Chain A
Amino acid sequence: MISCSFQPWNFVAPVSAAIEEGAERFAMTGMLGLILMAIVEIPVLAVIIASILETRRNPRVPVLFLGAFALAIGVSILGIAILGIATKFLVPQ
């Protein structure tokens, strides 16, 4: 747990630089999540678009699918909201 910091004398400038470096690394981490979500969701999106294009001869089917998808997400979010409100009366504020 005790690692050696490189420590010449007159060290304040490198110490500050170390803090800057840390801050930079931190800032870049936000990119990682976005890239990851893109890697996960873009292929899914592509496949969904492909399925819609594939069935465009019968436009009801993709509409049904999109409707079900949106409804599922909507209901999930609503469910979370309701549970949040319901527990509000029990959790000490």
Chain B
Amino acid sequence: MKGITRRSFLKGIAGLLGLLSLSGCTELRLPWSKSSETKGELIDGFGTVANSQDRWAYIFDVGACIGCRRCMYACKQENNVPDTISPLWIEMFEMKSELPVTGQPSEEDLKGATTSYTESPKEGRWYLSAQCNHCANPPCVKVCPTGATYKDIDGLVLIDYNKCIGCRYCVVACPYEARRFNWWKPEVPAERVNELVPLRPVGVVEKCTFCVHRIRRGKLPACVEACPVQARHFGKLSDPDSEVSKILNSNRGFRLLEELGTHPRKWYITRGEKWLE
């Protein structure tokens, strides 16, 4: 080949690679790489202001839960969840205590777990709730191609329903199956609508928001308030006097699928008497 010599070509490549590694060394923080992690003060659609000092944490007491599902329906009502979203944002599992609790249970293990129980609490059973954990290292936020799903400055993982294109990659990426997709056009009767929570169109993803419209105004999430046996607790770890701080300081707990490195914000404790009675 005449024209460009092999040598000059290789020199060029080496030069480019050198430039690249140089930029890598200086911890490249390009402006656009942050926009999904932080989002100014005013949040679209929720009308609230986030405080970056807040460290939200959610505690679920598997020892206390009786599986009454009041949390699920309080959430549905509070967040304008339509009938076409099933299961709801929160899901309750009735678990059998003598079977192993495994991630991705086999068909055998599944016989000890069900979401379709009709009576509770049942003897020899305990109840596990699953909802969005607002992970600190959320895989769903990483994979979103439009940035519709984002991590706010106070750590909450929220969705901008106007940006969502419904590709469902976030639904796929969440190991907790916490995200729901509007396969049908959602209908919520006008009298049931909560003005504080945006209504979603068809074809977008939605999920638990830790009732962002409530917690940033000093209230508790609807599920926490609705629980009749105080199995749910919510608050800021940044406040040493908060309930969650006190509970975590005095109770052992676990998180779901910890080994996946998602760093969820929801802890499960076994304080209540129901645990393995």
A contact residues vs B (CB 8 Å cutoff)? 1-5, 7, 9-12, 15-16, 18-23, 25-27, 29-31, 34-35, 38, 42-43, 45-46, 49-50, 53-57, 91-93
Indicate if B112 sits at the interface (CB-CB under 8 A): no
Which of these binds chain A: B84-92, B130-138, B210-218, B225-233?
B130-138
Indicate if B28 sits at the interface (CB-CB under 8 A): yes
Q: A12 and B249 in contact (CB under 8 A), knowing A5-B255, A5-B258, A22-B137?
A: yes
In the assembled complex, the CB of A8 is this many whole angstroms from the nearest CB of chain B, namely: 9
Q: A27 and B249 in contact (CB under 8 A), knowing A3-B257, A3-B258, A19-B136?
A: no
Query: Chain B, 28-41, contact with A by CB distance < 8 Å: what is the 0/1 string?
Result: 10100110010000
How many B residues face the partner with a CB closer than 8 A? 54
Known: A2-B101, A34-B33. 4 other contacts (CB 8 A): A12-B245, A21-B263, A26-B141, A93-B201
Cβ-closest chain B residue relative to A1: B103
Cβ-closest chain B residue relative to A49: B12
In the assembled complex, the CB of B24 is this many whole angstroms from the nearest CB of chain A, namely: 7
Query: What are 16 pairs between A and B in contact, CB < 8 Å?
Result: A3-B254, A5-B267, A10-B249, A12-B237, A16-B55, A19-B265, A21-B136, A21-B263, A23-B137, A26-B138, A26-B141, A30-B34, A30-B37, A31-B33, A45-B16, A56-B3
Residue from A18, A56, A93 whose CB has the most chain B CB atoms within 10 Å: A18
Cβ-closest chain A residue relative to B257: A1
In the assembled complex, the CB of A65 is this many whole angstroms from the nearest CB of chain B, namely: 15
CA distance in complex: A10, B240 (Å): 11
Asked whether, in the complex, the Cβ of A2 is within 8 Å of the Cβ of B256, the reply is yes
Asked whether, in the complex, the Cβ of B137 is within 8 Å of the Cβ of A26, the reply is yes
Contacts of A26 in B (CB 8 A): 37, 136-138, 141-142, 151
Indicate if B1 sits at the interface (CB-CB under 8 A): yes
Asked whether, in the complex, the Cβ of A15 is within 8 Å of the Cβ of B237, the reply is yes
CA distance in complex: A27, B101 (Å): 32
Query: Chain B, 189-212, contact with A by CB distance < 8 Å: what is the 0/1 string?
Result: 000000000000111000000000
Asked whether, in the complex, the Cβ of B4 is within 8 Å of the Cβ of A19, the reply is no
Q: A25 and B237 in contact (CB under 8 A), knowing A5-B254, A10-B249, A42-B16?
A: no
Asked whether, in the complex, the Cβ of B102 is within 8 Å of the Cβ of A1, the reply is yes
List B124-146 residues whose CB lies under 8 Å from chain A: 135-138, 141-142
Which of B12, B55, B142, B245 meets A29, CB within 8 Å? B142
Q: A25 and B252 in contact (CB under 8 A), knowing A46-B12, A46-B13?
A: no
Which of A9, A12, A27 meets B240, CB within 8 Å? A12
CA distance in complex: A11, B59 (Å): 14
CA distance in complex: A35, B28 (Å): 10
CA distance in complex: A55, B138 (Å): 48
Cβ-closest chain B residue relative to A20: B136
Residue from A3, A26, A29 whose CB has the most chain B CB atoms within 10 Å: A26
Indicate if B261 sits at the interface (CB-CB under 8 A): yes
Cβ-closest chain A residue relative to B104: A1
Contacts of A18 in B (CB 8 A): 136, 263
Indicate if B42 sits at the interface (CB-CB under 8 A): no
